[in-house]
Every structure is written in C-alpha cells, then in structure tokens.
A and B are shown apart, each in its own frame.
Chain A
Amino acid sequence: MLDVGDLSDRAVRTALPPLVALRSLSKRYGDLLANDAIDLEITPGEIRALLGENGAGKSTLVKILYGVIEPSAGDIYWEGHRIRIDSPVDARNLGIGMVFQHFSLFDELTVAENVAVALRHMSFEAVRRGLKAVSEGYGLGLDPDHLVRTLSAGERQRIEIVRCLLQNPKLIVLDEPTSVLTPQESERLFQTLEQLADEGKAILYISHKLEEVRRLCRTATILRGGRVVATLDPREKSAGEIAALMVGAEVGDVRREAREVASARVLEVQSLSMPALSSHERALVEVDVGVAAGEIVGIAGVAGNGQGELFAAISGERLSDSPGSVVIAGVPVGLRGIDERRKLGAAFVPEERLGHAAVPGHGLGDNTVLSHHAMGGLVRTGFIAFDRARDLAKRVIGDFDVRTPGPDAQASKLSGGNLQKFVVGREILRNPKVLVVDQPTWGVDAGAAQVIRKALIDLADGGAGVLIVSQDLDELFAIADRIAVIHEGRIGRIRPTAEWTREAIGLEMMGVAADDAH
C-alpha cells in the first residue's frame, strides 16, 4: 500500500503551511475540562486521524471547529490568520465541511431538500445539478427526490458527504463515520476520502477504531481525558501500543474460549413475525433464534435492520400474536407482558440508556424499581419500599464499579459507561436465567466495556443464556459462541463464531446471503 511516490508526496505536504492550527484550545463544562489546551495542525492533502476513547473530548473539539460550541480559551488559526468561528455558517464560509456522527438530516424532506437547506447561496436547480455531478463523480449513487426516511444509513451518510462537498470545503471533518456502516461500505468511504485527499483537501478523521485508522491515515493525534497525549504514524506502532495510549493503561482483552453448547434452550424464538407499526420501523419476518443455557449468542447487523423491534418482541414490550413465537424457560410467552417474562427468569437491557433503560431525572434508587417491582421485595401491597430500592442501587454500584456519588444521583448525571454498568448490573443482580442485551457497550469507554463484557461472560459461565444484539463485530467475535446476522427484519443462519469471517458477516449484513457469496 505504501509506495515510494506516496512517501515523497507526503514529504512535500508536511512542508506546506498548516491549513488550520489550534493553539491551546480548551473547553470547560462546569468542573469538567472536556478539552484541555489542545494543539493540532492539519495541512492540505492530509488525512489526519483524531483517535480517542468515548469521552476523550473528540466530539467537543469537532464542535468547536464547526462553530457549534464556543471554546473557553485558546486560539484557532486558519491559513495563518487568527479567527473566531461563531457559527456553522462561519465555519462553512471559511471552507470547513462537517459529516456528523449523528446525521443532521431531516427524515421527511427529500435528498435534494436536505442538501439545499444547508447551502445558502445555491439555487434549487444548482443544488440538484451539483448533487448529481458529485454523486456520479464519487460513485455515491443518490437520487435527489427520495425521502430521507426511506434510505439506509450508508446512503444517509453519503448525503452528508455530498452536502459537505458541494460547499467545496478545504477541510472535511468526519466524526465516527463508519459506526453505522458495514465493512464493505466503510471501504467504499475510504476510497472516496483518498480521492478527496489526492485533490488537495485536508481531512480530519475522528474515530476510536484502530484498524480503520491504520488503513486510512498516516498521522494520528491521540486524545485522552481532553488532552493530546501523542501524535504518531499509526502504521509504525502496534495496535497494543496505540490502545494503551488511548486508554492510559494496558487493556486486557476480554475473550471467551470456544465451548460445547448445552442442549437445554432457555430462550427460543420461533417463526416470529411482526408488522412494522410505522414507516420508521422494520417488520420482523419469520425470525428463529435459540439460546441454550450457558451460551452467548450474538446478533450482528447494521443499525435500523430490526434490532430494536426484535428486542421489543423478545422482551414483551410488544406482544406477538401467537404464544409460541417466544418461549422462555420452556413457557410460551408470546402473549405475556414483560413483567411475566421477568418472573420466568428473563432480564432485559435495551439499547437506549437514558429514557428507556433508566428515567433520566430520577435517582438510581428509583431506577431500580423499573425492572424489579414485579419481582417482590421492593413493593408491598402497592407501596414502594424506597429504602430497599436505595440499598439495591448501592449493591449494583458496589458490585459493578459504578462511579457515582451514590444511589440518589440522577441517572442523567452519570457518564455513559457508568450508567451502562448500572443498568446491566441491575439486571445481572437478579440472577436471570436468560439475559437479552441490545448494544451492550455502545458509546461506552473501554474500561466500562471491559467490566460489562466480563460480567456477561461470567453470567453465561454461571449457566444463563445470553443474547447480545450488537453492531460491534469485534465485540461479537470476542465473546459470542454463536453469531447470526439480522438484515431487513430477517435473521440468517446461526453459526459458531469460529465458522465466520469478517467478510462473510459483512456480506450478510448487506443482504448477500453467505451461501451465495462463494
């Protein structure tokens, strides 16, 4: 990949004056320094990686650069001049384009309208023409008249990219762009980015995924706790070294050994079908999944392919129309609600921590009542024993290393990792026979992810069945015994993890059945 021409080219580029330079930039939120005296320079034609764990301050830095939030201290230089970026409009006028992690798109508007709304000085007709040209030039394949809500995540991201390119930016910032893409879609994105860099654009690529950064970038700046801890060539360092810089300590790998699968099924989903309730939802079609006692089954898939709907159907948040479509501990529960399923020994952790797994404005003690009230102990003749709820919260906090002032802290005040440890721990403390977790470590720092994965493995080792729905393939390869892929509401064949390759999973995530791929 690295040929000589590339290297000499790079030597020329580093001699160029920086396009943008940040000088001891800081952002303070109350007591928290989200960015602490950050220095960073990016030159034209460079693809610069900004690596860091969740919470390292990457998103804050990006938002400052795009004028969405203002820095508390420090300076920004653009082409050698000190400037202020007061709003995204300022940023765009300078030549900064942005592709957000959470897309800033409008579901009920068309592709063309989504692009036009951000571009002040272009007529509708010019937008349509430009959209077509850019879409064809980079092989993005977008139809200007489609409603955004009908598009896949990959297509949505391409709208963001087109919108950004039409402003003819000098610097393109991409915030975790591959988090919703299949491996193949990611590769396509990388090719586009390389093409752009060759045209002389500077690219700031924000990620926490080492592999893709090593694939794409020659310089990486590593953030930890709001500070720059290193700037290096990611191809010259081992993954372990870089990970250590990101996390601040050696990270042990949590991994599960291959093992024999017991025959007793604690959870059985049999030809489960559910219509979509709205245009934003997926229908589930003839889903079959079984989880045996003591095993971890993983469901891989790109977001929006029916994971949430599957969770709702298995947990009983939504009822099916036939009792046998979901069987928990041998009991057909398709028509029974979530509390009945809990009483049979099932436990559930939904994807959304705030607002679904926990009530944001309530204390942790109160939040234990959510999933424990049906089980006895906390509620007697309709009255809640709030002191017991607090004790329970204290136990979760102690057992799962939740860092918080105490059981009265509001759920919304916890960091993502700590709250996730709390909601997973809250369920594991019930000693469930089967645990269903949707995205167990989504947006969680490495330390918390470790604790959670370890807890899931321990639970399975103790004889419980665990079903993990995750977009993180690394996670599934590390801890699942068997894996299946969900695509457009259907689940493919479940195979032992050892029989899968990343490529095969990637293809199935895009809807190409693994058997056709050979």
Chain B
Amino acid sequence: MTTFEAILFTVVMASTPLLIAAIGELVAERAGVLNLGVEGMMAMGAVSAFVGAFLFQSTWIGIGFGMLAGGLMAALFAVAVLGFAANQVGAGLALTILGLGLSGVIGAPFVGERLPTTPRLEIPYLSDLPILGSALFSQDIFVYLSLLLVAGVAWFLMGTRAGLRLRSVGENHGSAHSLGLPVLKVRFMAVVFGGLCAGLAGAYLSLVYTRFWAPNMTAGRGWIAVALVVFAAWRPGWALVGAYIFGTATVLQLHAQAAQFGLPSQFLSAVPYLATIIALVILSARRGSSGVGAPGSLGQPFVPDR
C-alpha cells in the first residue's frame, strides 16, 4: 500500500462512523425530532459493543450490543420527548450527558483491554484495483453497510409510502395528525432507528477504529454528525459527501501533526471543529436565514388535542 492509498484507506475509516450516525439522525430529524443525544448514544454504543465483543469474543455480538444500547438510549429519549413532550434540545443534551456518564461506569473495568484484530471482508478482484481498490474494497463490513444505509434511506424516504408518511409527519405534524397519521408512532420508530445507527457508529469506533475502549472516545463525533445533517440539508446523498469531507479533514490533520509542520498539534486538532463551524457558516449564508430545507415541525413537541 502506498502512502496515498493508506491515507485514502484511513479517510474511509474516519468517515464511516460519522456517516452512519448522521444518517440515523437524518431520519429522526426528517420525522421532526431533533435528537442532540447522538454523542451519548454513540458513547453507549461504543462501550456496549466493546464489552459484548470482549466477553463473547465475537464482533457480531459486539455489533448487536452496540446497536441495542443505542436503540435503548433513543427509546428513553423518545419516552421523554414524545411521551412527555419534553423540550427536545434539553432532553438531547441530557441524553448526551447520561450516555457519557453511563458509558464511563460500564467501561471502567475494561480500560486497557484490547480486542483481537477483526478479519476484513475483502471483495476479491475489486480490492486489487489500484488506488481506490484497497481503500474501498478491502474495508470491513461497516463500510459497505454505511454505503448501503445511505442508498437504503434515500430510497425509503423518497420512494416508499412509509417514507412519505415519515416526511409528512416531520413537515407538518398538525396536518399529519388531522389526516390520521400516527405522528408519535412514526416519530418513535424514527428516533429508535437513529439510536440504532448511533449505536452502530459507536460500535465501529471501539471494534474497528481503535479496538480498545477509552472514556470519551467519541470525542465530539456525535455532535459533528448532528452538524452534518444540517450541512447535508437533510438529504442522504449530501450526508455522504459531508461525512467524507470531514473524514478527510480529520485524517489530513492527523497526517499534518505527524509531519510536524511546526504548528502546535492542538491547533491541528481543532481543525475538524473549526471546519465544521466554517462549513455551517458557508452553508447557512448561502441558504439564507430562513432555514430552507429543515423539516417544518423540527424540534417542536406534539401534543394531540383529543
């Protein structure tokens, strides 16, 4: 593998968890629920996946544990914001804090442990292609899954009746309710889907990306995923583009640190966060302040009057 191929390979690795988490959040937001707890769900996914994989010596069980943890966290959030109509911004923050704390509690006994290397799922022939071959086709299952996820969600949202119903619930919950759509049920499922994705993204971090678990290992990736949804204007295809741009920024920043340009490493570490802010500024400025693209009922609690 050449250096360039290696960089490309790591770009894909860095982008994949962002993409998976962002797609999940995108679905929840399309249904009208702003879940700022992605960071917390990811942290729980990461720790649960590690514990599962470590105890049962199985990547698959690890993945299952991670998704389950993310889904349960999302269900808890859903009970608060859908069942009790709690403020979504506040409840999302609470979920992040809860997830970071709880993951620390669960993971404490496992600090310092390592997982054996997972065998890669290479696609024969294709992985031998020059340059892109190894980056795209000798990755692990998560990468293919993430790409499938984008295509699947795009098809679901724009091509199926259930997707149409989900979009209409997010666009105007009042209208949806008066047409008899089960607003809260649709939202609950969308939120839980978001949680499963965040859990999967977290699992990727601890099972593939690092193969160990450390407190706060999500390091703001959940928040970047939330920002990516805004960046993508709630479109799955653009989430893919965005995730890979940020993945590239992260990797280049790491390589720049290694190359020792003389810039302090902290400045380079700040690049992904600053890049996110700048991307949001550019996009928001172009779209105007009217919030075009955001689902009409995003973030608003729904209490049916019956």
Which of A's residues lie within 8 Å of B, judged by CB?
Answer: 66-70, 87-89, 91-92, 100, 103-109, 113, 116-118, 120, 124, 277-280
Contact = CB atoms under 8 A, between A and B. Distances in A.
Nearest to A113: B164
B246 to A, nearest CB: 27
A106 B172 contact: yes
B180 A109 contact: no
10 contacts: A68-B177, A88-B179, A91-B180, A104-B175, A106-B168, A106-B296, A107-B296, A109-B168, A113-B168, A279-B290
A106 B175 contact: yes
A103 B175 contact: yes
Contacts of A88: 178-180
A239 B305 CA distance: 35
Residue of A106, A108, A109 ringed by the most chain B CB atoms within 10 A? A106
Nearest to A67: B180
Contacts of B178: 66, 68, 88, 100, 104
Nearest to B290: A278
A66 B181 CA distance: 13
Nearest to B305: A69
A107 B172 contact: yes
B171 interface: yes
B32 to A, nearest CB: 12
Contacts of B306: 68-70
Interface string B283-306: 000001010100010000000011
B171 A108 contact: yes
A206 to B, nearest CB: 15
Contacts, number: 64
A88 B178 CA distance: 7
B33 to A, nearest CB: 17
A92 B180 contact: yes
| Listed residue (B167, B168, B176, B179) with the most chain A CB atoms within 10 angstroms of its CB | B179
Nearest to A91: B180
B165 interface: yes
Contact of A278 (B164, B175, B288, B296): B288
A279 B296 CA distance: 13
Contacts of A124: 161
B174 interface: yes
B180 A279 contact: no
Contacts of A118: 179-180
B230 to A, nearest CB: 16
A116 B179 contact: no
B164 A117 contact: yes
Interface residues of B, number: 21
A118 B176 CA distance: 9
Nearest to B177: A68
A124 to B, nearest CB: 8
A450 B176 CA distance: 36
Q: Would you list the 9 A-B pairs with minimal beta carbon distance, nearest first? A: A88-B180, A104-B175, A278-B290, A104-B178, A106-B171, A89-B180, A118-B179, A117-B168, A106-B168
Contacts of B164: 109, 113, 116-117
B161 A107 contact: no
Given A89-B180, A106-B175, A279 B292 contact: yes
Contacts of A278: 288, 290, 292
A104 B161 CA distance: 18
B288 A105 contact: no
Most A-side CB within 10 Å, residue of B168, B176, B305: B168
Contacts of B174: 104
A306 B31 CA distance: 31
B179 A104 contact: yes
A280 B181 CA distance: 25
A108 to B, nearest CB: 6
Contacts of A277: 288, 290
B171 A107 contact: yes
B179 A109 contact: no
Nearest to A281: B290
Given A69-B305, A116-B164, A105 B292 contact: no
Give the one of B175, B288, B290, B306 with max A CB within 10 A: B175
A227 to B, nearest CB: 22
Contacts of A68: 177-178, 306
Given A70-B306, A278-B290, A87 B165 contact: no
A68 B176 CA distance: 11
A109 B166 CA distance: 12
A86 to B, nearest CB: 10
Interface in B175-209: 175-181
A66 B180 CA distance: 9
A88 B168 CA distance: 16
A117 B292 contact: no
A109 B165 CA distance: 11
Contacts of A109: 164, 167-168, 171
Interface string B258-301: 00000000000000000000000000000010101000100000
A105 B176 CA distance: 8
Nearest to A29: B305
Nearest to B158: A113
A303 B199 CA distance: 48
A87 B180 contact: yes
Interface string B135-164: 000000000000000000000000001001
Contacts of A103: 175
A106 to B, nearest CB: 4
Interface in B6-63: none
A9 B255 CA distance: 87
A407 to B, nearest CB: 28
B152 to A, nearest CB: 19
A74 to B, nearest CB: 16
Contacts of A91: 180
Nearest to A121: B161
Given A91-B180, A279-B290, 14 more contacts: A66-B178, A68-B177, A68-B178, A69-B306, A88-B178, A104-B174, A106-B296, A107-B171, A109-B171, A117-B165, A117-B168, A117-B179, A118-B179, A124-B161
